[in-house]
């Protein structure tokens, strides 16, 4: 990674944070919880930039401009809202599940090979 890429990434992140701070308070609270949730269950591509997070802010800005409360935009089940956003994305949970399956299959193969 080049230094210039790191600097550009920091500038992009600061601009992103400024957009969040410009949202109404209820939107900021829900956004921060969404961000935490996505960083934990995360779509893998979230580490490649802030596109998804930026899209959420776009949606929130539109909702706020229309005078809607944040839960009118997301629905009352915020986790379902998040899961719907990432339903077609590969997540860290998917990668972990795949690795567990591979390890179990390897272990079972060793056991069955020894019994033959």
Q: Is the pLDDT of residue 45 over 70?
A: no
Q: How far is CA 35 from CA 51, 60, 64, 101, in A?
A: 12, 13, 18, 28
* More confident call, 94 vs 69: 69
Low-confidence winner among 12-16, 19-23, 28-32, 95-99 (lowest mean pLDDT): 95-99
SS3 of residue 29 by DSSP: helix
Residue 48 above 70 pLDDT? no
Q: Let me know: does 46 contact 53? Beta carbons within 8 Å.
A: yes
pTM above 0.75, yes or no: no
- Distance CA(89)–CA(42), nearest Å, equals 9
Q: Which of 84, 82, 10 is nearest to 40 (CA)?
A: 82
For the chain, helix (H) and strand (E) counts, in that order, are 6, 0
C-alpha span between 87 and 55 (Å, rounded) = 15
Give yes or no for residue 26 having a pLDDT over 80.
yes
3-89: CATH topology is c-terminal domain of poly(a) binding protein (1.10.1900)
Q: Average pLDDT of 44-50?
A: 60
Say if residue 32's pLDDT is above 90. yes
The pLDDT assigned to 3 comes to: 80
Q: Average pLDDT of the chain?
A: 85
Report the greatest alpha carbon distance in the chain: 70
What is the predicted pLDDT for the residue at 116?
Answer: 61
């Amino acid at each position: 990674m080049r230094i210039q890429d790191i600097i550009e990434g920091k500038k992009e992140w600061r601009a992103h944070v400024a957009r969040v701070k410009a949202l109404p308070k209820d939107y900021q609270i829900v956004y921060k919880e969404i961000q935490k949730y996505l960083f934990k269950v995360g779509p893998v591509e979230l580490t490649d930039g802030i596109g998804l997070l930026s899209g959420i802010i776009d949606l929130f800005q539109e909702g706020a401009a229309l005078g809607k409360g944040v839960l009118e935009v997301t629905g009352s089940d915020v986790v379902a809202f998040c899961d719907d956003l990432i339903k077609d994305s590969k997540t860290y949970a998917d990668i972990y599940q795949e690795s567990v399956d591979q390890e179990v299959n390897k272990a079972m193969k060793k056991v069955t090979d020894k019994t033959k």
